[in-house]
Each structure stands twice: as structure tokens, then as C-alpha cells.
């Protein structure tokens, strides 16, 4: 089975790389803003959402390190400055240390960067990030290290999926927490922490656009185009519905039954919208594919006869000669020329001559196998390429073509054809093979036309075995 090359969409690859750099810069900027809020005691800068929980200082440090690691892992950074793996290990260390503090109720001293009396009043350790954030940062550091080192592809994909699951669960839980219905593990997780985590995870995935999940998303295929457009919306759509459901009840006071009905209506509309979007996208891609195929076909097809043109013939001949040299794959070439075609044109006009050329194309195609090629070489000259066919087999094909011309009911008068046959030799260049077939065609013309002449197979026509 022949492996099909996996092609990437160049624009998609560039877009993913640019997004990765954007995510790195934005993550670092947001983290620095939060740290500035702690430094100058400006609560608004630490929350970014008035009235909500602040991002802890050590979480902000971890995100600043993550943004720096992601930026320094880019290809444009000189090798000596690629500190991404070590910065990612520092992020993982912050997450693991905080997680240890939660599990064993100890104070490792990393929570005291800035004075924060609010948690102590609430009975929590001051400056300590929530346990889900600690877990996420430990995994985020591991993800950054694996991507930076280009190691353990499947493990880093699993970690990325787990992190995305944490983000989606946290966003959905955030909506429930806003409604005051639950005291879950995500209750103390700030919204901008979850959004920043999502941004960094997607940034790390996008930084390696030709491997793993992103290899599919950047593929130059229908599946790649769908993945680029639908994966993120489908990932966030359930979160949106939870937000709508919970906020409708908490803010508007709607009954649960009515809220469920509205959410069902909205989800149905959203699914219908996605289906319409996919259908429109597939329609556009299919039209582009058909147009591209038509352009390729037009570029290699003779408009009058429907046969391959000289350019397509040259490409196929080069490929067959390459196979002859590499795999000892024999083939033969036939040169054909309509007899006294100029006289036919003079007697009946060029429109009648064009009709003869079109009929010639049909007769040649009818005499060939699917693997053979018939091409218009120029004017009234045609060529046939017959893979896996020696001189004797090619002569039989030529005789079959002659019989087809002799038996056809031509509209004005009988049209005949002369054919020269040549089998390819191992060391042939295209000009050598064409010259032998053309010389055989010349002999057929001078022997009285309407016949086949086969060129002598040169010594070494096949590689010695």
C-alpha cells in the first residue's frame, strides 16, 4: 500500500505559530499586570473582574514564567536563549509545591510574596492559590517542558486534554458558583485564571503545528478545515449553556422549567447553526476542490481532442523513464501521424479537420487501457505511452489502432494513420526514445503509410539481471 503524503496548510501553520506567540505575550502581560496590582496594592488589577476573586501572586508568577517559556520556545529565538524547558520546570515546581501544601497542610513559604489579609480572615492560608489551579499549573509546566523538548508526544497530548478538561469544568463551575448554588473546588478560582490557563494551553499546542492534535487541525484537508473552525466553539458551547442556564435563574428569577426550555431552544439553534456552518464550509471547500481539479485538468489537457497535452506527456514520460532506471519497469512509446491530413484540411476545411482530430482522440482512448496515456503531440501528431509493455505488445496495440481507423465510418473520406513503435531502453533520455519512435514513424510513411513500423530494440533495453 502506497503511503499518501500528509500535507499541511501553509496559511494555517503560520496562523497557529502567530497565535502561539500572541498567547505568550498576552499571558506574560496579564500576569505582570496582576503582579503590579499586588505590588502597588491595587485590587482591581489583581481581579480584572470587579468583585471577584483575585489571582494569587504565585499563580501570576507561574503564568509570567509560562508566557516567557512559550515565547522563548519559538523558532525565531536563538538556541542559546531557548530557556523554555527550565522555565516550565519552575512553573511545575510552583504547582507541585502548592499542591503539597494543600494535601499535607504545610506552609512551604511560597505564599508570602505579598500581604493579603482577606484569606486569613476567611480561614484560608494567605496568598495560596486554589488546589485546582495548583494541579493545573503542575500539568502546565509538564506540558511546556514536553513541547519545548519535543518529547513524548502522546503524553503531552494527554496532559493537554486533561488541562482543557480542567478549564471547561472550571468555567462551567464558575457559572454555578455565580448563582450561589455550590461550594465546589472551583469556587475560589478566579475567572481570568481559567481564561489565562486556556490561552497558555492552546498556545503550547499551537507552537508545534505539525505534530499531535494540531497536525490534524493544520492539515490541508476537509477534516483540517473543520477542526480549525469548529473545535474551539464546540469545546466552549457547553460552558455557554451552563452560564445561560444559571444566570437566567439567578439574575432573572426564571422558573427552572422555563429556563430549561429556553436553554433547549438555544442549544437546538446552536447545533443547527453549527450544522449549517459545516454544510456551508463543505460546500465552499468542495467547490474550491472541483475548481482546482478543473484547473489542473485544463493545464494538462488538449482542448480539442480531450487527450493529454504535450506538457502532461513530458511529465509522464519523465516518470516512466525514472521507473525504468530505478525498478527496471519497461514501457513503450508510439508516435502516430494522420496520413495526408493537410490535403484533407484543404479539401474539406479546417472545421472538418478539427472533427477528424476529435474522432482520433476518441479512437485512441477506446484502444487503450486505463494505465496507458494518449496525448496530442502537436498538429496531427499523437503519442501513446504504454507502461509494462514491450515492443511486441506495443505493436499489437498499434495494429488495433490501425484496425479502428480502417473500420470507422469517416464522414468525408477514409482517414488512415501511420505509427512508429519504440521500446524504452534502460539508459534512454526522453529525446532518445522519441527519436527512435519518430524514425520508425518516418519509415512507415515512406513505406506507403497506413501501417506500423517497430524500431529495433537497442541493446540493454532492460537492465541485466
pLDDT in tens, 194-220: 999 999 999 999 998 888 878 888 887
Distance CA 23, CA 25 (A): 6
Per the CB < 8 A criterion, the answer to whether 447 and 453 are in contact is: yes
Q: What is the model's pLDDT at position 1? A: 34
Interval 73-93: pLDDT, tens: 888 888 777 788 999 999 999
If one counts the domains in the chain, the total is: 2
Q: Could you tell me if 216 and 320 lie in one domain?
A: no
Per the CB < 8 A criterion, the answer to whether 200 and 66 are in contact is: yes
- Tell me what the mean pLDDT of segment 446-452 comes to: 94
Tell me, what CATH number does 330's domain have? 3.30.70.270
Lowest mean pLDDT among 34-48, 208-222, 226-240, 350-364: 226-240
Residue 303 in domain: no
Per the CB < 8 A criterion, the answer to whether 43 and 54 are in contact is: yes
Distance CA 428, CA 389 (A): 16
Strand bridging mode 417-423 / 373-378: unpaired
Residue at a domain's end among 171, 196, 220? 220
Which burial class, exposed, middle or buried, applies to 459 when counting CB atoms under 10 A from its CB (0-12, 13-18, 19+)? Answer: exposed
Q: What is the model's pLDDT at position 465? A: 33
| pLDDT top residue among 172 and 336 | 336
Strand bridging mode 381-387 / 373-378: antiparallel
Grid cell, residue 28, equals: 506574560
Q: For the beta carbon of residue 347, count every other beta carbon within 10 angstroms.
A: 12
Lowest mean pLDDT among 64-68, 156-160, 216-220: 216-220
Q: Could you tell me if 124 and 17 lie in one domain?
A: yes
Strand bridging mode 417-423 / 452-454: parallel
Residue at a domain's end among 220, 235, 263? 220
Q: What is the model's pLDDT at position 363? A: 94
Q: Could you tell me if 214 and 321 lie in one domain?
A: no
Residue 233 in domain: no
Q: Could you tell me if 36 and 176 lie in one domain?
A: yes
Q: Could you tell me if 62 and 208 lie in one domain?
A: yes
Per the CB < 8 A criterion, the answer to whether 190 and 49 are in contact is: yes
Q: What is the model's pLDDT at position 110? A: 65
Residue 249 in domain: no
Residue 65 in domain: yes
Would you name the residues annotated as active-site residues? 380
Per the CB < 8 A criterion, the answer to whether 349 and 392 are in contact is: no
Residue 129 in domain: yes
Q: What is the model's pLDDT at position 115? A: 55
Lowest mean pLDDT among 188-192, 328-332, 391-395, 456-460: 456-460
Q: Could you tell me if 62 and 177 lie in one domain?
A: yes
Say if residue 44's pLDDT is above 70: yes
177's CB contacts (< 8 A; 6+ apart) are 184, 186, 187
Residue at a domain's end among 171, 188, 220? 220
- Tell me what the mean pLDDT of segment 435-440 comes to: 95
Residue 262 in domain: no
User: Residue 2's pLDDT band (boundaries 50, 70, 90)?
Assistant: very low
Q: Could you tell me if 34 and 180 lie in one domain?
A: yes
- Tell me what the mean pLDDT of segment 332-342 comes to: 95
Q: Could you tell me if 203 and 317 lie in one domain?
A: no
C-alpha distance from residue 37 to each of 26, 31, 44, 121 (Å) = 17, 10, 7, 20
Per the CB < 8 A criterion, the answer to whether 177 and 34 are in contact is: no
Indicate the DSSP class of residue 450.
Answer: S
User: Residue 41's pLDDT band (boundaries 50, 70, 90)?
Assistant: confident
Q: Could you tell me if 166 and 18 lie in one domain?
A: yes
What's phi and psi for 375, nearest 5 deg?
-140, 150
Residue 287 in domain: no
Grid cell, residue 262, equals: 429556553
Q: Could you tell me if 207 and 342 lie in one domain?
A: no
Which burial class, exposed, middle or buried, applies to 157 when counting CB atoms under 10 A from its CB (0-12, 13-18, 19+)? Answer: middle
Residue 232 in domain: no
Domain that holds residue 447: 310-454
Grid cell, residue 56, equals: 494569587
Q: Could you tell me if 190 and 328 lie in one domain?
A: no
Indicate the DSSP class of residue 463.
Answer: -
Amino acid at each position: 500500500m502506497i503511503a499518501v503524503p500528509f500535507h499541511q496548510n501553509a496559511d494555517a501553520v503560520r496562523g497557529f505559530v502567530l497565535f502561539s506567540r500572541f498567547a505568550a505575550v498576552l499571558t506574560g502581560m496579564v500576569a505582570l499586570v496582576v503582579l503590579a496590582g499586588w505590588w502597588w496594592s491595587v485590587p482591581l488589577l489583581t481581579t480584572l473582574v470587579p468583585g471577584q476573586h483575585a489571582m494569587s501572586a504565585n499563580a501570576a508568577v507561574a503564568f509570567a514564567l509560562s508566557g516567557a517559556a512559550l515565547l522563548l520556545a519559538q523558532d525565531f529565538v536563538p538556541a542559546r536563549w531557548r530557556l523554555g524547558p527550565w522555565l516550565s520546570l519552575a512553573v511545575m515546581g510552583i504547582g507541585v509545591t502548592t499542591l503539597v501544601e494543600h494535601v499535607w497542610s504545610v506552609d512551604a513559604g511560597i505564599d508570602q510574596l505579598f500581604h493579603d489579609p482577606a484569606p486569613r480572615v476567611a480561614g484560608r492560608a494567605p496568598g495560596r492559590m486554589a488546589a485546582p489551579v495548583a494541579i493545573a499549573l503542575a500539568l502546565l509546566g509538564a506540558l511546556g517542558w514536553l513541547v519545548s523538548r519535543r518529547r513524548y508526544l502522546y503524553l503531552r497530548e494527554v496532559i493537554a486534554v486533561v488541562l482543557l478538561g480542567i478549564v471547561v469544568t472550571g468555567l462551567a463551575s464558575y457559572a454555578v458558583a455565580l448563582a450561589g448554588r455550590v461550594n465546589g473546588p472551583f469556587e475560589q478560582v478566579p475567572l481570568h485564571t481559567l481564561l489565562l490557563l486556556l490561552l497558555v494551553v492552546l498556545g503550547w499546542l499551537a507552537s508545534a503545528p505539525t505534530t499531535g492534535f494540531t497536525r490534524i487541525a493544520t492539515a490541508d484537508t476537509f477534516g483540517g478545515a473543520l477542526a480549525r473552525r469548529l473545535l474551539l466553539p464546540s469545546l466552549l458551547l457547553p460552558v455557554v449553556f451552563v452560564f445561560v442556564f444559571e444566570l437566567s435563574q439567578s439574575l432573572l428569577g426564571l422558573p427552572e422549567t422555563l429556563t430549561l426550555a429556553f436553554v433547549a431552544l438555544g442549544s437546538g439553534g446552536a447545533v443547527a447553526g453549527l450544522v449549517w456552518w459545516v454544510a456551508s464550509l463543505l460546500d465552499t471547500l468542495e467547490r474550491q476542490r472541483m475548481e482546482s481539479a478543473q484547473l489542473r485538468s485544463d493545464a494538462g489537457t488538449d482542448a480539442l481532442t480531450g487527450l493529454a497535452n504535450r506538457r502532461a506527456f513530458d511529465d509522464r514520460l519523465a516518470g516512466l523513464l525514472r521507473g525504468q532506471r530505478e525498478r527496471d519497469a519497461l514501457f513503450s512509446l508510439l508516435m502516430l501521424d494522420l496520413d495526408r491530413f493537410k490535403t484533407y484540411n484543404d479539401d474539406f476545411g479546417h472545421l472538418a479537420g478539427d472533427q477528424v482530430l476529435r474522432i482520433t482522440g476518441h479512437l485512441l482512448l477506446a484502444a487503450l487501457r486505463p494505465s496507458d496515456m494518449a496525448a496530442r503531440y502537436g498538429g496531427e501528431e499523437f503519442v501513446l505511452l504504454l507502461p509494462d509493455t514491450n515492443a511486441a505488445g506495443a505493436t499489437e496495440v498499434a495494429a488495433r489502432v490501425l484496425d479502428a481507423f480502417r473500420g470507422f465510418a469517416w464522414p468525408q473520406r477514409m482517414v488512415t494513420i501511420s505509427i512508429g513503435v519504440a521500446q524504452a531502453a534502460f539508459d534512454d533520455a526522453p529525446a532518445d526514445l522519441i527519436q527512435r519512435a519518430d524514425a520508425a514513424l518516418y519509415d512507415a510513411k515512406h513505406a506507403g503509410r497506413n501501417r506500423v513500423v517497430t524500431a529495433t530494440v537497442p541493446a540493454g533495453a532492460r537492465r541485466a539481471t
